[in-house]
Structure 1
Amino acid sequence: MLHPFRVVVLSFLWSTCLLLLSVSAPASGLESVRERGVLRHLGVEEYANFVTSGREGLSIELIRQFASWLGVEYQFVPTQWSRAVEDLLGRQVLEKNGTLRLGEKRPISGDVLCSGVTALEWRKQLVAFSNPTFLTQVLVVVRGDTPVQPIQPTGAAQGDIARTKGKLHDLELIGLPDTCLDPELYGVKSARPPLKVRDLRPAQLVPRLLDGQVEAVLLDVPSVLMALSHWPGQLKVLGPVSSLQYMACAFRPHDIQLRQAFNRFMEKIRWDGTYYRMVEKYYPSIFSYFPHFFANISPEKLSNDSFKMLSFPGSRE
C-alpha cells in the first residue's frame, strides 16, 4: 500500500492526479446522488462506535440522516482501511520513493467515506475533508499490571509526547500500518512482534495486548474510551504520541457541491442539538475530554486553543 510518514507530493503531480480523478469519476457528486436517488456510504466494519458489527453507530446514523436531508435513500457499503480511499476515488493509490500517485482505474464504490476517518496529511493529498466531526488523539495503552507508569502531564502537547515516547524503549509496541495508528506517523519505533499487523482491525489490538502477545498498543481516543469501559481495571493509558487530531468525512476533491451540502447539514444539526445527542448516544464520556468541541456551535467558531490536552483517570498529576 503506502507509507504515510514518507509521503511527499509534488504540486505538479498533484494537479495531474486531480485532473485524472475528474475524468475517471463522472457518476458522482450531488447531482448524480439525487439522480440515482441513493447516497452510498463507505464505512469500515467494525470500528469503535462509528460502525459496529451490527451496522449501527455514529457514522451510520450521521450519514443516514444526511441522506434523508438530501431526500435520497441510504446505502451502506462496507470497506477496509487498506482500500477505503481507493474505493472512494475509483483509482489505485500507489507510493514510490516517497511520492503518492494514482494507478489503475477501479470501480467507485461510494459517495462519502465516513467511519471515524482521521484527517491525516497523506489523506488530505488525496481526498477533500468536510468540516471536523470529531476530535481525537493517539495514545499508548498498556496492561494494568505493567510496571511502567503513566506520564505526569506537562500541560503542553509536545512535552507530554516526549515523556510518553521516553517510556517506550523497552516495550514491544504495535499499531496498524497506513492508518492513524501507524507508529511511523509519530516517530514511534515498533518492535515488530510476530503478528500480521496488516491483517488486524483496531478492535483486535486490545485482546492481543491482554493475551500478552504485545506489551503496548496505539489506540485513538474513541477506541480507548470503549476499551476502558469494556475491560475496567485491566488497562492504563501511558500518554499521547500525537497532538489533537480531527476526524471528518471524506469526499472526492471534485465533488464540491456534495461536500458543501454535508457541511451545511452538519452546521444545522450542531446548532439544533441533534449532533450532540448523536454523540452522547455512542460516546457519552467524550464530553469530559472535549467539552467545547461538541457544543452546539459551528466548528469554524472553535480554535485549537479552545482545547486542553486529553488526560485520562490514572494519568493525571
Structure 2
Amino acid sequence: MQVIKRLGVLLCSLIWLLASHTGVYSADLQEIKARGELRHLGIPYANFVTGSGDGFDVEMVQGFAKHIGVKYTLVYTDFYSVIRDLLGKNVVRKGADVGLEGDFPVKGDMIATGFTVLPWREAVLLYSQPTFPSQVLLLARADSNIAPIKGSKDLEQDIKETKKLIGNNSLLVMERTCLDPSNYGLKGIGVDLRAYTKNTNLNEMVPALLNREAELTLLDVPDVILDLKKWAGKIKVIGPISGHQDLAAAFPKDAPELRDAFNEYLAQIKKDGTYDILVDKYYPGVRRYFPAFFSRENEAKLLSP
C-alpha cells in the first residue's frame, strides 16, 4: 500500500513538472500536496489583500496552506486577469452565454480577494462557502445635491429609489468586476456610464470620484467602510444598488477536492474563533452592516454538513 501511495505522489509530481513547461495547468488537492506549494491569486483591494503581504484573505489562505501542509505563495494579479491566471483561459461572455477560450500560463491555484459570487463567474468556477458578506452601494461626493435615501425595511424598494436618483448624472463603473453595471440592470437604459479604465484597482474609484471624473460611483461595502474613514467628510452613501452578496474563494472546476478542503478549513476557523479575529482585525464595525451573516444561527448553518 505504501509503495502505491509513493508511486502516486511521484506520478503527481511528474505531471506537475511536465505541465509546468507547457504553462497551462490547474491542480487539485493531491497535485498541490505533491508540489508542496499553494499559489494564492490575490488583488490589492479593501483589506482583503493589502499589497503589503497581509490582509483578511491573505491570512486566511496562509492558514489554509498550513492546514494542508504546503508552502504558501501570494501571486498578485488584477480583476481583469485573475480568472485567466487561474484557468489558463479567457472568459468570453455573449449575452447570457459564458465560455472559455485561448491558452495562457496558469499562475495560481485559487482566488481569494474579496471575490464576489456572480452568476457568470459560477459558470466557470467552483466557489467555496461564503467567506464574507457584501453589497454594492451608490456613492457621491459630500457636496453633491443628491441626498441619501431615508431607507426602509423593504430592500427592493430602496434599490429602486436609489437607482432612480442616478437620473442624468454620470456614473463611474468598472466592467468585469462586482461594479459592472450589467450586473444591476444599469446598462442600456440611458444611464451616463463612465467606465474607469486607468487601472483595474477598485481602490481608485473614490479618488476618481473626488477628482470629478463622474458625479456618482458604485462601490461595495467592505471598501466603503474603509473609504468613509479614509475620506471622512468628502463622500456620502446615497443608497443600495444591489441586494446582499456573498464573497468567497474560487477554484477551477476540476479542483473539487481543493475546494472541499478549503470549506472544511473555513468551518474549522469559524468554530475555533480564528475567523472572528480576522474580521475584527480588518473590518471593525462590519457586523452592524450584516448582522444576519455574522449571527450564530447563520454560522451554525454554514458549519452543518
Matched residue, 1:223: 223
Matched residue, 1:268: 268
Q: Alpha carbon RMSD of aligned pairs, Å?
A: 1.9
Secondary structure at the counterpart of residue 115 of structure 1: coil
Q: Is the 8 A contact 2:39 2:109 kept in 1?
A: yes
More displaced 10-residue stretch of structure 1: 276-285 or 52-61: 52-61
- Give the Cα–Cα distance (whole angstroms) in 2 for the partners of residues 142 and 129 of structure 1: 32
Do residues 241 (structure 1) and 237 (structure 2) align? no
Distance 1:298 1:66, change over 3 A: farther
TM-score of the pair, normalised by structure 1: 0.83
Give 1:34's aligned amino acid: K
Cα deviation per residue 1:86-108 (whole Å; 9 max; x = unaligned)?
Answer: 11112222234652222122221
Secondary structure at the counterpart of residue 280 of structure 1: helix
Matching of residues 143-292 of structure 1 within 5 Å: 143-189=141-187, 190-193=191-194, 196-197=196-197, 199-292=199-292
- Structure 1 residue 25, shift from structure 2 partner: 6.5
Q: Is the 8 A contact 1:40 1:111 kept in 2?
A: yes
Do residues 42 (structure 1) and 48 (structure 2) align? no
Give 2:103's aligned amino acid: K
- Structure 1 residue 80, shift from structure 2 partner: 1.0
- Give the Cα–Cα distance (whole angstroms) in 1 for the partners of residues 220 and 122 of structure 2: 19
Do residues 53 (structure 1) and 51 (structure 2) align? yes
Distance 1:27 1:241, change over 3 A: closer
Q: Is the 8 A contact 1:276 1:296 kept in 2?
A: no
Cα deviation per residue 1:15-35 (whole Å; 9 max; x = unaligned)?
Answer: xxxxxxxxx966501001100
Q: Is the 8 A contact 1:39 1:74 kept in 2?
A: yes
Secondary structure at the counterpart of residue 222 of structure 2: helix
Instruction: List, as ranges, runs of 4+ consecutive aligned residues in structure 1 with deviation greater than 6 Å.
Output: none
Give 1:293's aligned amino acid: F
Q: Is the 8 A contact 2:174 2:196 kept in 1?
A: no
1:110 pairs, out of 108, 111, 115, with: 108
Secondary structure at the counterpart of residue 57 of structure 2: helix
Cα deviation per residue 1:207-249 (whole Å; 9 max; x = unaligned)?
Answer: 1111222111000001100110101121111101100000000
1:119 pairs, out of 117, 136, 154, with: 117
Secondary structure at the counterpart of residue 115 of structure 2: strand
Secondary structure at the counterpart of residue 270 of structure 2: helix
- Give the Cα–Cα distance (whole angstroms) in 2 for the partners of residues 200 and 129 of structure 1: 22
- Give the Cα–Cα distance (whole angstroms) in 2 for the partners of residues 34 and 295 of structure 1: 34
Q: Count residues with an aligned counterpart.
A: 277
Secondary structure at the counterpart of residue 223 of structure 2: helix
Matched residue, 2:140: 142
Give 2:30's aligned amino acid: E
Matched residue, 1:76: 74
Distance 1:297 1:251, change over 3 A: farther
Distance 1:186 1:298, change over 3 A: closer
For structure 2, the 5+ residue unaligned runs are 1-22
Matched residue, 2:29: 30
- Structure 1 residue 204, shift from structure 2 partner: 0.8
Secondary structure at the counterpart of residue 105 of structure 1: coil
- Give the Cα–Cα distance (whole angstroms) in 2 for the partners of residues 26 and 170 of structure 1: 47
Q: Is the 8 A contact 2:24 2:103 kept in 1?
A: no
TM-score of the pair, normalised by structure 2: 0.86
- Give the Cα–Cα distance (whole angstroms) in 1 for the partners of residues 296 and 266 of structure 2: 10
- Give the Cα–Cα distance (whole angstroms) in 2 for the partners of residues 159 and 240 of structure 1: 10
Give 2:192's aligned amino acid: A
- Structure 1 residue 295, shift from structure 2 partner: 4.6
- Structure 1 residue 196, shift from structure 2 partner: 4.7
Give 2:217's aligned amino acid: V
Aligned-residue identity in percent: 39
Give 1:294's aligned amino acid: F
